[in-house]
Copies of this chain bind each other. A is one copy, B any other.
């Protein structure tokens, strides 16, 4: 089976974290991670364009087959959550335009897949992200690590059957037709 390439995203209007992870069904390897930053004083449409183009750039560079996006966190501040919805919208749009498989996970599910508990602390998640990817330390900044965690979650909870690739069976006709 050829390794799948997963782009994980932790959406945000100010900082969108991302991580690209290669996964061969057993071992996950970090390919790239980072953040897309927007300027606080820019109007929202301008920031949405920067996020959208930032994601499209990563897609063009790595051509992943899957996007894993952290689901909206129901913040107490409704306005913040709605603005976050705008950012998620342009991120999902980029994935759909590129015909990727899209996975969405609530934050607790990502934590559980990586640490075993949905109530894990940020430090616990970062520790396990580094361990699972055999890194000396967690990816920096923290938002990038959250993007990587989303990608790892899609790898670890992937329900695709991991069948070994067998050569096609060839039965001589003489054995089938007696």
Contacts and interface: CB of A to CB of B under 8 A. Distances in A.
Interface of A: 43-46, 48-49, 52, 72, 74, 78, 81-90, 92-93, 95-97, 102
Contacts of A84: 82, 85
A44 B97 CA distance: 13
Contact of A48 (B44, B72, B74, B92): B92
Nearest to A69: B45
Contact of A82 (B46, B72, B95): B72
Is chain A's interface secondary structure helix, strand, loop, or mixed overall? helix
A168 to B, nearest CB: 34
A24 B18 CA distance: 47
- Interface centre among A72, A83, A90, by most chain B C-beta atoms within 10 angstroms, is A90
A90 B90 CA distance: 5
20 contacts: A43-B102, A45-B96, A45-B102, A48-B89, A48-B92, A48-B93, A48-B96, A49-B96, A78-B81, A82-B82, A82-B84, A84-B85, A85-B88, A85-B89, A86-B88, A86-B89, A87-B89, A88-B89, A89-B89, A90-B90
Q: A-B pairs with the 10 shortest C-beta distances?
A: A85-B85, A89-B89, A86-B89, A45-B96, A45-B92, A82-B85, A49-B96, A89-B90, A90-B93, A48-B93
A19 B55 CA distance: 31
